[in-house]
Amino acid sequence: MGYFYTMANLEIRRLAPDYSSAEGPHIPGERMQIAEIRKPRGTGSRLHTHPNEQFSFVVEGRLRVRIGEEPEQEVGQGMLLHVPAGVPHAFVAVSPGGARYVTLKDMSWGMSGEALDRTTAGPHVDPEPPAASKDLRARSGNNPYISNLYELEDIKIGPDYSTAHGGWVLGERIQVLLYNKAKGTGSRPHSHPNEQFIFVLTGKARAVVNGEEKIIGPGEVVHMPADSMHNVIALTGEDLVYLTAKDTTFGIHGIPGDGRNTGGFYEPGYKKD
């Protein structure tokens, strides 16, 4: 498979038509897979399960979610939903323009699961358009499966070679982070034994994987296979924010290619004293 993908240019397909309205492009990796999912307002999935772990990050709109035995809750942009393997769950779009979110699953199973009632009756459809409600982006309540990535502890990610920092959620097979890099800064070439996907949310960057280089922006995905040499540098126009996932066979920090723990990369004039 390749290293660089523009989601808008990939085939859109129904991802689980037996029980869900989810559709969008899908990229399988070796240990993880990523999809950008869209659902029209008032539609979504019926309760279902699958044997692989799932993380979903809301990019646009709002979802009504139910995970496990927790009460139904509405979530908005910036919220991260964690579905452990085998836990029943359902997501329904409730905002006027529908909802768009990024889903990551490990490769022990595919993208589709099985409805809890074991029928293939198609997606959930609300009988009437859902009532307008306030955006709950900044709240996850006491639900252990929901996190606000923007409000988690801001940790340094790979400080020996990178300027990245952000929130981190550790699952059993996948770990998800929200990377923030100031404009004109980024990482020096490095590698790690785990696979990585990134999905750009805001800003543009110069990304290099095993010698292949591309300028990337919002809606684009970069795949870093395990042990690949790579680096990502925010262009000088604006700060860079991207969602990233790594499998849990290794941690969140990599190994500098030159063996030197001298910190991140800075374009001339962008390093603060």
| CATH of span 153-250 | 2.60.120.10
Q: Which CATH architecture has domain 11-110+145-149?
A: Sandwich (2.60)
Burial class (CB in 10 A: 0-12, 13-18, 19+), 189: middle
Question: Residue 183 corresponds to which amino acid?
Answer: K
pLDDT digits (tens, 9 = 90+) for 100-125: 999 999 999 999 999 999 999 999 99
- What is the C-alpha separation between 161 and 159, in angstroms, rounded? 5
pLDDT digits (tens, 9 = 90+) for 37-63: 999 999 999 999 999 999 999 999 999
- What is the C-alpha separation between 68 and 70, in angstroms, rounded? 6
0.85 cut: is pTM over it? yes
Residue that has been written with the tokens 């001298």 in this structure: 262
Ordered by start, the domain boundaries in the chain are 11-110+145-149, 153-250
Q: What percent of the chain has pLDDT over 70?
A: 95
Burial class (CB in 10 A: 0-12, 13-18, 19+), 137: middle
pLDDT digits (tens, 9 = 90+) for 124-161: 999 986 665 544 443 446 899 999 999 999 999 999 99
In 3D, which of 157, 156, 153 has the Cα closest to residue 254? 157
**So what's the pLDDT on residue 134?**
46
- What is the C-alpha separation between 204 and 156, in angstroms, rounded? 20
247, two tokens: 């499998």
- What is the C-alpha separation between 143 and 147, in angstroms, rounded? 8
- What is the C-alpha separation between 86 and 78, in angstroms, rounded? 24
153-250 has the same fold as 11-110+145-149: yes
- What is the C-alpha separation between 14 and 22, in angstroms, rounded? 6
